Each structure stands twice: as structure tokens, then as C-alpha cells.
């Protein structure tokens, strides 16, 4: 690492340590590679394949899930970090963990749980992701959680995007800025979901390609111009091919935007160490201001046309109803909780802790699990042939 990475990249040998135990010896993997592998093999990571990104998984098998989104963010992050000579393994570990705490039913699930738990501290999926890697994942005999390095945990705790703006805990307030690797994941997330949600929306018919072509956004028009220039048959291609070519072009152009602008920022601020990168008055990882404003406008366009479409709104209301009714039922009858959650509930010191146990149970559900449990609870003829989640 010391030979391959830039001076401002975080080196695994310089980690500020793990939560509980120091880095174990391993001849073949660095500390951040071990973090990545622990996240990858966790139960919560595998469950992401059954959680909604935008379109609920029961609506079709060909839409992105929270897992495919996570893998795409990790790929974006690796591309950006490699070009900037940052620590790819740390970027990948943060990216793979950034949505571990996400609820079923996408962002409406998070909003619903935050509303339900408001009096008891609320719910924020980044902080839930940190709780998962610190205590909720049960994988090792010696300790709860995954015992990750400080830098990986910092990237999870300080993950900030349009949807995510968590309150930074005191532990992670020691630096004005997170590492450049954490900043990479912060920008890779919106780059990934904007491009790929657009592709899903076009393929599902929520958006027509003509709407994109007539959208007067300089950045979008640049995407389209490059498509026409690089792919001579673009105009006559079918809907699916055109959407794939457009997304490929969006990824290519936005990655270049970020790489070039970040390189300029690092040179302008004379960043030559990890410490210097953490002390700046602005994020170093960024896109040109005007391009970023146009990108934000594209996100608003998608929000209005896709995320607020009648179909998505109906799906959201279903998810909201399911979570609220299950929570109310479990709050009245905690005996319905699975054994391990009931054990935690009974040991909880006060109402706040008891409510948090139910919140942990709900947030860890997949879409299908939540819907099946709802059916079992409220449909009179539904058989109780149900495997409770432990």
C-alpha cells in the first residue's frame, strides 16, 4: 500500500484500531480487506437482496434491489478511488456497509420507523448500519458485531447524501471531514442510484425516453450528445438498449467529472497527508459546481416523475401501513416477538429500550418477510406456517 497509494490515502497499517480487539495477523489480507469480507459474509448484507430500492421486489424480478444498488455503489467507489490512488479496499468496505441498516420498503420504511420511534430517539439508517456492525450482527463467539476498524465505521457513520444526513456521534467528531475514502462513497451513492433508477424507470415505463430527450438540462443533453456520437445506431435502437447506453454514458461522464475535479481540489489545497485531507473546510471529493447543480436538478426531475409517481406512492402507502400495524400489534403483544428479540425485550431497562428492540426487529425485516408476517397477523384464514426471524 505504501508504494501504490497516494500520501493522502488511508493505509491499513495506520488504522486507528478496531472496536474491541486489535487487528488480527493475516499474511494475505489487510485490515480493510478483512473488514470488507466480514461485511460481505454478514447476515444483514445477504438480506439486502430482498429489500426495495425504489420498485418493490414483488412487483417484478428485474428491478434493482438494495443489494444490487450496494454493489453498484461499491463499483463506482472502486473506480473513483483507483483513479485517485486512494484505498480501494476501505472504499469498498464502506460502500458495502452503507445501507446495512436500511428498512424494508425503501425510504418510506425509514420515514415510517423514524415517525414511530420519534419519541424514543427516532430512526436513521446510517446510525442503524453502525449499530449492526457494532452490536446487532451475531457472528463471532468472543463479541457481538463485526469488530471493524475505526475508518470503516467512520465512513458508515458519516455517510451523507440527499437522503442521509445523520447526526455525527461524538466518537466521529474528532475531525472536521471524514477520510477521502468516505467522501468517495458519499458521492458514489447518488451517482449510482440516479443513473440506475433512471434505467429502471425507463424500462418499467414510468418514464418515456422522449421525456428525457426533451428535458432541458445541459448535463442530460451532454449525456445524450455523447450517446449519439459514440453509438451511431443510438436513435434507432429499442428502449432497453437506449436506456443501457444512456446509463453507461452517465456513469462514464460523471466518474470523469468527479475524478478531474477532485484532483484539482487536492492540488489546490495542497493535500499531502490523510490529516490534511481531514482538516479542510470543504469536501475534496466533488464534481464541478455547475455540473453538480445540473445533476441535482436531474435528481429532482426523477423525484417528481418516478419517486412521486402514482404507482410508487401506492407501493409506499402499502409499506407504511404494514410497518405501522405490525409495530402497534407487537407493542401491545410483545409475546409475538421471536425468541431472541423477546429475550432482549424482557431485559430492556425501560420503555425506550423496549421500543428500540421492536424497531430493530422491523428494520431488519425484508419486504417479503414483513408482508408475510402482516398476512399471518391480520388475515383470518392465513395459516401460521411461518418461520420466525431470529
Q: For the chain, first and last CA: distance in Å?
A: 40
The model carries a pTM of 0.92
- Please state the φ and ψ torsions of residue 337, each to the nearest 5 degrees: -65, 145
For the segment 251-273, what is each residue's pLDDT rounded down to a tens digit?
A: 999 999 999 999 999 999 999 99
Collapsing DSSP states into helix, strand and coil, what is residue 84? coil
- Contact by Cβ (8 Å): 112, 324: yes
Q: Which domains does the chain have, with CATH numbers?
A: 12-311 (1.10.3210.10)
- Contact by Cβ (8 Å): 126, 157: yes
pLDDT given at position 250: 96
- Contact by Cβ (8 Å): 148, 251: no
> DSSP letter string over 270-338?
T--SHHHHHT-SS-SS---HHHHHHHHHHHHHHIIIIITSHHHHHHHHHHHHHHHHHHHHHHH-GGGS-
How confident is the chain (390 residues) per 10-residue block, as mean pLDDT?
93 90 74 96 94 60 80 97 98 98 92 94 93 93 91 94 60 92 97 90 88 95 96 90 93 98 98 97 97 96 86 89 97 94 94 95 94 90 66
Collapsing DSSP states into helix, strand and coil, what is residue 52? strand
For the segment 81-138, what is each residue's pLDDT rounded down to a tens digit?
A: 999 999 999 999 999 999 999 999 988 999 999 999 999 889 999 999 999 999 999 8
Gap between the Cα atoms of 364 and 16, Å rounded: 29
pLDDT given at position 58: 46
Amino acid at each position: 500500500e505504501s508504494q501504490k497509494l497516494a500520501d493522502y490515502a488511508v493505509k491499513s497499517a495506520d488504522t486507528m484500531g478496531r472496536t474491541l480487539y486489535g487487528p488480527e495477523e493475516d499474511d494475505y489480507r489487510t485490515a480493510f480487506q478483512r473488514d470488507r469480507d466480514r461485511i460481505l459474509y454478514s447476515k444483514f448484507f445477504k438480506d439486502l437482496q430482498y429489500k426495495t430500492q425504489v420498485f418493490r421486489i414483488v412487483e417484478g424480478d428485474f428491478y434493482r434491489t438494495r443489494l444490487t444498488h450496494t454493489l453498484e455503489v461499491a463499483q463506482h467507489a472502486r473506480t473513483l478511488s483507483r483513479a485517485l490512488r486512494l484505498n480501494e479496499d476501505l472504499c469498498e468496505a464502506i460502500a458495502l456497509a452503507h445501507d446495512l441498516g436500511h428498512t424494508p420498503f425503501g425510504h418510506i420504511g425509514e420515514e415510517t420507523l423514524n415517525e414511530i420511534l420519534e419519541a424514543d430517539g427516532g430512526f436513521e439508517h446510517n446510525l442503524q448500519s453502525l449499530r449492526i456492525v457494532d452490536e446487532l450482527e451475531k457472528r463471532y463467539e468472543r463479541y457481538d458485531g463485526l469488530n471493524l476498524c475505526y475508518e470503516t465505521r467512520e465512513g458508515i457513520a458519516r455517510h451523507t447524501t440527499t437522503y442521509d444526513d445523520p447526526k455525527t456521534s461524538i466518537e466521529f467528531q474528532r475531525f472536521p471531514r471524514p477520510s477521502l475514502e468516505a467522501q468517495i462513497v458519499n458521492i458514489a451513492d447518488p451517482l449510482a442510484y440516479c443513473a440506475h433508477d433512471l434505467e429502471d424507470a425507463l424500462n418499467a415505463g414510468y418514464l418515456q425516453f422522449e421525456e428525457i430527450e426533451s428535458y432541458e438540462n445541459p448535463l442530460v443533453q451532454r449525456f445524450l450528445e455523447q450517446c449519439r456520437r459514440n453509438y451511431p445506431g443510438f436513435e434507432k435502437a429499442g428502449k432497453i438498449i437506449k436506456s443501457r447506453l444512456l446509463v453507461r454514458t452517465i456513469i462514464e461522464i460523471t466518474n470523469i467529472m468527479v475524478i478531474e475535479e477532485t484532483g484539482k481540489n487536492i492540488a489546490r489545497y495542497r493535500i499531502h497527508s490523510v490529516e490534511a485531507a481531514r482538516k479542510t473546510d470543504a469536501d475534496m471529493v466533488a464534481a464541478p459546481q455547475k455540473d453538480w447543480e445540473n445533476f441535482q436538478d436531474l435528481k429532482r426531475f426523477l423525484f417528481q416523475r418516478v419517486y412521486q409517481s402514482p404507482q410508487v406512492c401506492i407501493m409506499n402507502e402499502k409499506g407504511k401501513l404494514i410497518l405501522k400495524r405490525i409495530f402497534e400489534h407487537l407493542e401491545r403483544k410483545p409475546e409475538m416477538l421471536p425468541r431472541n428479540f423477546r429475550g432482549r425485550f424482557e431485559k430492556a431497562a425501560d420503555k425506550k429500550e423496549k421500543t428500540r428492540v421492536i424497531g430493530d426487529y422491523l428494520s431488519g425485516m425484508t419486504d417479503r418477510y414483513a408482508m408475510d408476517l402482516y398476512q399471518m397477523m391480520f388475515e383470518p384464514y392465513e395459516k401460521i406456517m411461518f418461520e420466525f426471524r431470529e
